[in-house]
């Protein structure tokens, strides 16, 4: 990948670029089929095993996994139109858009600038203002909130907890892996994520009813990707014979299927997730001392996290002016940077167009105006990390 940056957000499409591209070319030439099949199924099984979940369903993107997850809950009647769904105010847009598209009401939960995530205290504060049927929280940039406390709170209040783990695959808390604290979680395998299938995503859960519905939602609302026993159940319930069953559509769905290329690429990398997370954590630790030694910056707290599967290196400046100073410094040094995901989601144009309700979000606002991030790739060189550290020195 050609880039004008000395430290780009991403340099390669895959962790082992040349040999993965060669293997992919061979696979394309020789594979008996290229539409969703055995490679995808094997990747799902391997992913579920590695994540410690019973089931995983592969999609053509992380956004598709998010959409399908909420559609599946709507189809099952566990989430109804007009019900309120809480979401991390600092997140990716396609975690919030399906809440609106599916007729539910999005409620932003504030995020703590020290952990970049919604904490149990933020959820509790919102619950004092409004009821929630579900919480769709994002584990941002490899960090998480205090997920065990959030899980307990959600259980006590009968709230469905979902995790968007698209940026935190491989992060471990003492109480378990990120992505395993709620009913289900989603991952993204877009280039630059912890595992890259070019485009791709996954939903993981232990719930047998939900996994069946996710497969129905993924492909047109039909039963073709269910086990024979499950398909038989749907056919009997709706009195559909085997001939008609080829084109029987049981509930609302889309076409969000991956291809065998997605399965092939994922399967090659699934065992490297831990190693990739380890390297990214090492990089982060190398830069962390510079972050904490600089009085222009706010320190980040990862004391509740055992392994930080760092997605990028976040920088929390104390003021918007300081963010300008440091981002300009990064540009001059050739380090590519970005705002901290979508910032405060309430400030995004699409949100203002479709949602009227507003909530106080002081933490998310601080992140919106004062934070940015640069890349943290597993293949980052010492020289690249040293350059980032130099740019994080306090102003003279
Ligand atoms: C937190 C989060 N959720 C969802 C997504 C969407 O994933 P995709 O780009 O695979 O659709 C992203 C993308 O980076 C993300 O960062």
Question: Is 163's C-beta closer than 6 angstroms to any atom of ligand 1?
Answer: no
pTM: 0.97
Q: What is the dihedral of CA 315, 320, 325, 331, to 10 degrees?
A: 60
CB 58 within 8 A of CB 40: yes
Single out the residue of 269, 297, 301 nearest to residue 373, CA to CA. 297
Single out the residue of 100, 3, 114 nearest to residue 336, CA to CA. 3
Question: Is 375's C-beta closer than 6 angstroms to any atom of ligand 1?
Answer: no
The number of the ligand 1 atom at minimal distance from the alpha carbon of 138 is 1
The average pLDDT across 314-328 equals 98
Question: Is 112's C-beta closer than 6 angstroms to any atom of ligand 1?
Answer: no
* Ligand 1 midpoint to CA 25 (Å): 26
Q: What 3 state SS string does the chain have?
A: CCCCCCECCCCCCCCCHHHHHHHHHHHHHHCCCCECCHHHHHHHHHHHHHHCCCEEEEECCHHHHHHHHHHHHHHCCCCCCCCEEEEECECCHHHHHHHHHCCCEEEEECCECCCCECCHHHHHHHHCCCCCCEEEEECHHHCCCCHHHHHHHHHHHCCEEEEECCCCCCCEECCEECCCCCCEEEEECCCCCCCCCCCCEEEEECCHHHHHHHHHHHECCCCCCCCHHHHHHHHHHCCCCCCHHHHCCCCCCCECCCEHHHHHHHHHHHHHHHHHHHHHHHHHHHHHHHHHHCCCECCCCCCCCCECCCCEEEEEECCHHHHHHHHHHHHHHCECEEECCCCEHHHCHHHHHHCCCCCCCHHHHHHHHHEEEEECCCCCCHHHHHHHHHHCCCCC
pLDDT at 3 over 90: no
Please state whether beta strands 201-205 and 55-59 pair in parallel, antiparallel, or not at all (unpaired).
antiparallel
- Provide the pLDDT for residue 56: 98
Lowest mean pLDDT among 11-20, 65-74, 222-231: 11-20
Return the CATH number of 273-391, one of 3.90.1150.10, 2.90.10.10, 3.40.50.300, 3.30.70.120: 3.90.1150.10
The number of the ligand 1 atom at minimal distance from the alpha carbon of 188 is 10
- Provide the pLDDT for residue 346: 98
CATH 3.40.640.10 in the chain, residue ranges: 17-272
Provide the pLDDT confidence category of residue 19 given band limits of 50, 70 and 90.
very high
- What's the pLDDT tens digit per position in 363-391? 999 999 999 999 999 999 999 999 999 99
CATH 3.90.1150.10 in the chain, residue ranges: 273-391
The average pLDDT across 133-162 equals 98
What is the Cα–Cα distance from 371 to 349, expressed in whole angstroms?
Answer: 19
CATH 3.40.640.10 fits 17-272, yes or no: yes
Provide the pLDDT confidence category of residue 1 given band limits of 50, 70 and 90.
low
The average pLDDT across 280-288 equals 96
Question: Is 115's C-beta closer than 6 angstroms to any atom of ligand 1?
Answer: no
Percent of the chain at pLDDT exceeding 90: 98
pLDDT at 396 over 80: no
- Provide the pLDDT for residue 2: 67
The average pLDDT across 210-228 equals 98
Provide the pLDDT confidence category of residue 262 given band limits of 50, 70 and 90.
very high
What is the Cα–Cα distance from 169 to 138, expressed in whole angstroms?
Answer: 12
For residue 251 the two structure tokens come to 């509930």
């Amino acid at each position: 990948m050609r880039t004008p940056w000395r430290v780009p957000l991403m340099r390669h499409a895959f962790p082992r670029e040349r040999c993965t591209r060669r293997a992919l070319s061979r696979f394309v030439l020789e594979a008996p089929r290229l539409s969703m099949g055995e490679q995808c199924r094997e990747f799902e099984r391997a992913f579920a095993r590695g994540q410690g979940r019973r089931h995983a369903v592969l999609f053509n993107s992380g956004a598709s996994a998010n959409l399908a997850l909420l559609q599946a809950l709507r189809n099952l009647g566990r989430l109804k139109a007009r019900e309120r769904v809480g979401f991390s105010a600092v997140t990716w847009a396609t975690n919030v858009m399906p809440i609106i598209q599916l007729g539910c009401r999005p409620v932003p939960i504030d995020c703590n600038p020290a952990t970049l995530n919604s904490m149990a205290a933020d959820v509790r504060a919102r619950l004092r203002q409004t009821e929630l049927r579900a919480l769709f929280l994002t584990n941002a940039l490899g960090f998480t909130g205090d997920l065990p406390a959030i899980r307990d709170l959600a259980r006590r209040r009968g709230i469905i907890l979902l995790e968007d783990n698209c940026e935190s695959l491989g992060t471990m808390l003492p109480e378990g892996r990120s992505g395993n604290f709620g009913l289900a979680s989603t991952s993204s395998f877009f280039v630059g994520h912890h595992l890259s299938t070019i485009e791709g995503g996954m939903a993981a859960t232990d719930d047998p009813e939900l996994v069946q519905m996710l497969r129905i939602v993924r492909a047109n609302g039909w039963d073709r990707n269910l086990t024979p026993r499950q398909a038989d159940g749907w056919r009997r319930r709706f009195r559909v014979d085997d001939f008609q069953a080829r084109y029987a559509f049981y509930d609302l769905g889309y076409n969000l299927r991956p291809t065998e290329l997605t399965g092939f690429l994922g399967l090659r990398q699934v065992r490297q997730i831990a190693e990739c997370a380890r390297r990214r954590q090492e990089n982060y630790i190398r830069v962390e001392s510079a972050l904490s030694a600089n009085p222009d910056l706010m320190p980040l707290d990862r004391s509740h996290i055992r392994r930080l599967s760092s997605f990028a290196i976040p920088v929390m400046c104390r003021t918007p002016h300081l963010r300008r100073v440091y981002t300009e410094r990064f540009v001059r040094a050739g380090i590519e940077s970005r705002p901290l995901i979508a910032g405060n989601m309430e400030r995004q144009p699409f949100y203002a167009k479709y949602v009227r309700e507003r909530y106080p979000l002081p933490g998310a606002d601080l992140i919106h105006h004062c934070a940015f991030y640069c890349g943290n790739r597993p293949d980052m060189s010492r020289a690249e990390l040293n350059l980032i550290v130099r740019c994080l020195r306090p102003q003279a």
